[in-house]
Amino acid sequence: MRGLLFNLLEEVVSRRWGLERWDEALDRAGLDGAYTSMARYPDAELMSLIESAASVAGMTRDDFLQWAGRSSVPLLVGRYRSAFEAHLSTESFLLSVPSVVPPSIRASFPDMDVMFIDIGIERADSGVGVSGIRWRPQLCPLIAGFIEGIALHYGEGASIEHKACVDWEDEACVLLSTFDTQSRLSTVPQPSPAVEGRVPDPVRLLRRFERERAARLKAEELAAKVLFRMYEVIRRLDEANEELREREARFSAGVAATPDAVISADGEGKIWYYNHAAERMFGYAPEEARGEPLTILMPERFREAHLRGLRRFLDTGETRVIGRTLELAGLRKDGTEFPLEVSLASWSAKEGTFFVATLRDVSDRKRLQEELAQHSAELARSNAELEQFAYVASHDLQEPLRMVASYVQLLARRYEDRLDGDALDFIRFATEGVTRMQGLIDGLLAVSRVGSGGRGREAVDANEVLDDALVGLRAACKVAEATVTRDPLPVVVADRAQLAQVFQNLIGNSLKFCGPHPPVVHVTAERSDGGWIFAVRDNGIGIDTAHAERAFQIFQRLHARDEYPGTGLGLAICKKIVERHGGRIWVESDAGQGATFRFSMPERRGGL
């Protein structure tokens, strides 16, 4: 049966280093400091085990860890391995050179160069053993040779064999002699005369060992427990690491695939993570970028501020940029610059402070913003021009028109008796032309005011708005003997005056295009997706749907002027108002069957 500790060790190394041969692993990697480094693992149980083991061994914790760690270092120097392995089926051994043996033990063996320490083996039935230095008697020759070899390995020179032998036999004899009281010791060598004088008094030595024995056994037991626990911790860590690696792999795959560049840097500002998007953005391959300072990615003018900010953050934790999104410029490998948006985060680990930056190339957005700014500047200018036009139209154009109209009329009045019929007709045409011209100007002004108005949007009761519109149509309704009816209308968010204008224009059209019967107009509203659809239905001459689209265009008329007078602006104004409210307007009709004008008013504040 292989020693439990051996199995344990083998499993640990194979799992930890992925090697099948534990001895190979030890050869290759060494365990130097391994125990010490274990202290870094925050495992409370392990720590308390180490504490108690150290206290039992009469050492400080650090000494104990160093001892425990280094005691396994020279284990199985290569060339003895095969010989040793043959016996490992029954025992496992940890070998220590005296320099790493605990001082308390070492003090007991002032002359010993080499010693075996075997911890964690069942001891009751092993037959032979003293303190922690135990072996089966039949292994003695092998071990003796082993020790000689190790002594050689440690370069003791030509007398080593002898010395080792002598020393070994000296101590061993003494020790084994002491065993002899409870075990067969026929093979135990006697002290050689040459060294007789140096042989310690066996009884005294035994007593000294006995004194320390209980404590040392306890220390060994604890050391074994430390190993077990360490194994547990390592196993758990391995599992956790495995999970972590998987998570990290998943995360890395995600980060690598993200369209944003993700770059991480350490506290010195050196890049240690750099994804593919960053490669596309900056032109450096990940392996080129890793380890380089972040400043290679920024134009010269930003570098000083970056380094200053980094220092300030590391020194004082003060930051103006962490956790925020900034607009900066990036520097490509080819030396070109581009605008970027960067969000920064930082975190602290045992190894120091780290930063991660998520960067987005905002060239397109920047360009769009500039274009937008340019467009809005143009729009503002054209709006200003439009306002100027509106002012000129409403002011300067009126006066010459009035002059023409007034004086042509005056001419007609004053010289009526001297003018023939043609002349009076001409004067009439001129007057009508002026009147129409003024109508057109007024209409244009009305259209342009739709654009500049519409700021007073509020929740309005469409019933009241319709009432407002009908007040303006009272005379026309009376003349046409019209009937205007309605269903209950909803409350909508709109510019009250503009909505009234829409009703007024639509109902006005119904009165105008009424055909032979007195007009009957019915106003309704129904719920639609995200708003209301109003309808103004009449019994008039209707509208040929082939021309319906034209009806909404500015100055477009579908009828001869003398048939139905008008400027061709009413519906254009309706269209503009409705569209400014985020809705649309259309007409359904069969010529001669009346027309239904519908317009939608979205519930949210659309348009503008």
The contact set with another protein (CB under 8 A) reads 390-391, 394-396, 398-399, 401-403, 405-407, 409-410, 413, 431, 434-435, 438, 442, 445
Half-sphere exposure of 471 (CA within 13 A, CB side): 8
Please, which residue, 85 or 432, has the CB nearer to another protein?
A: 432
Q: State whether residue 499 is helix, strand or coil.
A: helix
With the CA atoms of 231, 232, 236 and 241 taken in that order, what torsion angle do they form, in degrees rounded to the nearest 10?
-10
Q: Write out the E strands in 413-467.
A: 457-461
Query: How far is 468 from 473, CA to CA, in rounded Å?
Result: 9
As a whole number of angstroms, the distance between CA 369 and CA 471 comes to 47
* Residue 207 vs 402, nearer CB to another protein: 402
List the end-to-end C-alpha distance of the chain, in Å, as a whole number.
88
- Tracing tokens 């799992």 back to the chain, one arrives at 15
DSSP class of residue 266? E
- The residue (of 329 and 392) whose beta carbon lies closer to another protein is 392
Q: Are 100 and 67 spatial neighbours (Cβ–Cβ below 8 Å)?
A: yes
Closest contact distance (angstroms) between CB of 383 and another protein is 15
Q: In the bound complex, what is the minimum distance in angstroms from residue 408's beta carbon to another protein?
A: 8
DSSP annotation of 130: B
To another protein, the closest distance from the beta carbon of 372 in angstroms equals: 30
In the complex, the smallest distance separating the C-beta of residue 416 from another protein, rounded to whole angstroms, is 13
Considering beta carbons, is residue 382 or 452 the nearer one to another protein?
Answer: 452
Least distance to another protein from the beta carbon of 491, Å?
28
- Residue 540's closest CA among 482, 579, 599, 586? 482
Kind of pairing, strands 520-528 and 483-486?
parallel
Rg (CA), the chain: 51
Crossing angle of the two packed helices 160-179 and 140-153, in degrees rounded to 10: 140
Q: Judged by CB, which is closer to another protein: 407, or 429?
A: 407
Q: Minimum Å distance from CB 405 to another protein?
A: 5
Nearer to another protein, 127 or 433 (CB): 433
Q: Nearer to another protein by C-beta: 295 or 394? A: 394
> Nearest distance from residue 403's CB to another protein, in Å?
5
- 34's tokens: 């391994």
DSSP tag of 39: T
Closer CB to another protein, 406 or 593, in the complex: 406
Whose structure tokens read 């205007």? 484
Q: Residue 298 CB, nearest distance to another protein (Å)?
A: 53
For residue 327, which phi and psi values (nearest 5 degrees)? -105, 120
